[in-house]
Amino acid sequence: MNERDETLLRDMLDAARRATRFIEGQSRAALEDNDMLLGYAVVRAVEIVGEAASKVSPETRAALSQIRWKEIIGMRNRIVHDYLNVDYNIVWGVVSKDLPPLIDKLEKFISPE
């Protein structure tokens, strides 16, 4: 794996960890209704995961074929291009259900610093 891809994977991992930490002890409603700052922070972290994913080389994506690259990048595109209509139920599902397995996969692949 080249250095650029390792940096991008670390960015994905860091942003995914942040997003999951942000929602610890929170309810789904807090994302949209009760805490605008929380909602913005979580959405931004998910966006960063997708942006970094979009820049990972085809070779590294192939080596990590168990990661759902298209879905991750697609989520980023929906957030960025349709920001007025972010569905916080979907964001909550992504962060609470999809990011923990992604974190596990990235941790196993990336060498410790």
The pLDDT assigned to 29 comes to: 82
More confident residue, 62 or 77: 62
Q: What is the value of pTM for the model shown?
A: 0.92
Contacts 24+ apart (CB under 8 A), 99-107: 99/16, 99/19, 99/20, 99/46, 99/49, 100/20, 102/12, 102/16, 102/49, 102/67, 102/72, 103/13, 103/16, 103/17, 103/20, 105/64, 105/66, 105/67, 106/9, 106/12, 106/13, 106/16, 106/67, 107/13
Mean pLDDT of the chain: 92
Catalytic residues: 76, 81
